[in-house]
Amino acid sequence: MLVLRRGTSLKVFRKGAEEACLREKAKLIMRPDDANVAGNVHGGTILKMIEEAGAIISTRHCNSQNGERCVAALARVERTDFLSPMCIGEVAHVSAEITYTSKHSVEVQVNVMSENILTGTKKLTNKATLWYVPLSLKNVDKVLEVPPVVYSRQEQEEEGRKRYEAQKLERMETKWRNGDIVQPALNPEPNTVSYSQSSLIHLVGPSDCTLHGFVHGGVTMKLMDEVAGIVAARHCKTNIVTASVDAINFHDKIRKGCVITISGRMTFTSNKSMEIEVLVDADPVVDNSQKRYRAASAFFTYVSLSQEGKSLPVPQLVPETEDEKKRFEEGKGRYLQMKAKRQGRAEPQP
């Protein structure tokens, strides 16, 4: 099976029937409007490609058996590292595979590789894990059951169940922050949280949505990355690139006609990286029965680059309020935890 789209220009290749919609592949050439001024592809563009691949494979799997038809909606994206930059003119190879299913959710592993079509050189740029839930076409508020997959080893199912329980617990832990909002400040000082914090207001139109009237997860992630990039650029006033995205949690669906506010603020800086918290609030202006609500939240990490593409030191953030100091310490904890994990992976095995 071959599907062609342009806009995000997606080619999807269905593999053999024996793999029954458990794997998909896509190719996309990177164009100037996909990149920043330095020629590096926007992190949000890559996140959108990753989500599209995940949505296709999970929707296909959830409709692989007879029963009520559904569409897979993005519920969560695990931490995603940007391992290597992708440039204009390179071809992105996106592959997706279903790695676990619970009763009501699908785990999808997506890998992105870039190819220099002049030299044939390929390199891994991204690895991401996404979770989807199947929503009924008759009633998008109804979550359906997921067809089970057959595992080649029992350990695969047990490991998948552990990942499922861990992400479920983390999703619950993020909900306490849902009342937090980003407040504007007058005449903020440089290097403070207020100085670089930014917001983007967007009216959700038909082109942002699925055929069933709610926003693609990839559209939301791209907008979140744009706001995080503005915060990082304002803070360090250099070229910046996305280094990683911590877990993105989608707390509720965003429907067509909503006005969404994407707000970003600096929470922590190390010597060469910046952590930015991004919050997405939806205001259903055409529905007076529903109040403004928190739709998504995530932490993005950016690095500062010179014109030659070399990593630069980051101006240190100056937290002023008690809440800002608390968020700084929490960000420091996440940074040290991830640093320890990277060092652990780098240590040679005995």
Q: Which of 208, 225, 246, 281 is labelled catalytic?
A: 225
Q: What is the pTM of this model?
A: 0.85
Residues paired with 340 in a beta bridge: none
What is the distance between the alpha carbons of residues 81 and 306, in angstroms, rounded to a whole number? 21
Active site residue 33: no
Active site residue 36: yes
| CB-based contacts of 88, cutoff 8 Å, min separation 6 | 30, 31, 32, 34, 35, 39, 41
CA 155 → CA 109, 159, 161, distances in Å? 17, 6, 10
Predicted confidence pLDDT, tens digits, the chain (350 residues)? 333 333 333 333 334 433 445 777 888 899 998 888 778 899 999 999 999 999 999 999 999 988 899 999 999 999 898 999 899 999 999 999 999 999 999 999 999 999 999 999 999 999 999 999 999 999 888 999 999 998 988 899 999 999 999 998 887 776 555 557 677 777 789 999 999 999 999 999 999 998 788 999 999 999 999 999 999 999 999 999 999 998 899 999 999 999 999 999 999 999 999 999 999 999 998 777 788 999 999 999 999 998 888 899 999 999 999 999 999 999 999 999 988 887 776 555 44
What is the distance between the alpha carbons of residues 208 and 151, in angstroms, rounded to a whole number? 36
